[in-house]
Amino acid sequence: MASQQLEQAHALAKESPQQAVEIYASVLHADQTSDITIAERETALLSMAALFERMQDAAALTNLINSSQSYLITVSKAKSSKLIRTLVDRFDGIQGGLQPQIATCQGMVEWARGENREYLRQALETRLVSLYLESRMYTEALELISRLLSELKKLDDKMQLVEVHLLESKVYMAVKNLAKSRAALTSARTGANSIYTPPPLQAQLDLQSGILHAEEGDFKTAYSYFFETMEGLAAYVNPKSASAASAETPFSSSPAVSAGASEQRQLQAFAYMILCKIMLQQPDDITGLLATGKTAAKFRDQLVVIALQAVAKAQKQRSLADFERALSEYRSSLQSDELIRSHLTALYDTLLEQNLVRLIEPYSRVEISHIASLIGLPISVVENKMSQMILDNVLHGILDQGNGCLVIFPEPKNSTTYETTLETIKSLGNVVESLYAKAATL
* Rounded alpha-carbon distances, angstroms, from residue 19 to 24, 26, 43: 9, 11, 16
Q: What is the DSSP letter of 412?
A: P
Length of the chain (residues): 442
Worst-scoring range by mean pLDDT, 182-196, 251-265, 300-314? 251-265
Whose CA is closest to 347, among 375, 319, 386? Answer: 319
Please, what are the domains in the chain? 1-135 (1.25.40.570)
Q: In this model, does residue 70 exceed pLDDT 50? A: yes
Residue 148, C-beta contacts closer than 8 angstroms, at least 6 positions apart: 122, 125, 126, 129, 164
At residue 244 the predicted structure's pLDDT band, cuts being 50, 70 and 90, is: very low
Nearest Cα to Cα of residue 249 among 196, 191, 192, 189: 196
Rounded CA separation 256/248 (Å): 6
For position 260, what pLDDT does the model report?
A: 62
Task: Please tell me the predicted confidence (pLDDT) of residue 238.
Answer: 54
> Quick check: 258 pLDDT over 70?
no
How confident is the model over 79-108, as a mean pLDDT? Answer: 89
pLDDT tens digits, one per residue of 12-52: 888 888 888 888 888 888 877 677 888 888 898 999 999 99
The answer, as to whether pTM is greater than 0.85, is no
Could you give the CA distance from residue 89 to residue 81 in angstroms, rounded to a whole number? 12
**Residue 335 and residue 341 in contact, taking contact as beta carbons nearer than 8 Å:** yes
Band (pLDDT 50/70/90 cuts) for residue 1 is low
Query: Shortest CA distance to 130 belongs to which of 97, 164, 100?
Result: 164
Ordered alpha helix ranges (H), 247-400: 259-279, 284-291, 294-299, 303-316, 320-329, 331-335, 338-360, 368-375, 379-391
Q: Is the pLDDT of residue 254 over 70?
A: no
- Whether the predicted pLDDT of 293 surpasses 80: no
The per-residue pLDDT for 401 is: 84
pLDDT in tens, 315-342: 888 778 788 888 889 888 888 888 999 9
Report the range of poorest mean pLDDT among 26-35, 195-204, 269-278, 343-352. Answer: 26-35
Cβ-based neighbours of 380, under 8 Å, separated by 6 or more: none
Q: Give the span between the Cα atoms of 426 and 430, in whole angstroms.
A: 6
Please report which confidence band the pLDDT of residue 290 belongs to, taking 50, 70 and 90 as the band edges. confident
Say what the pLDDT of residue 33 is: 67
pLDDT number for residue 211: 95
pLDDT of residue 105: 93
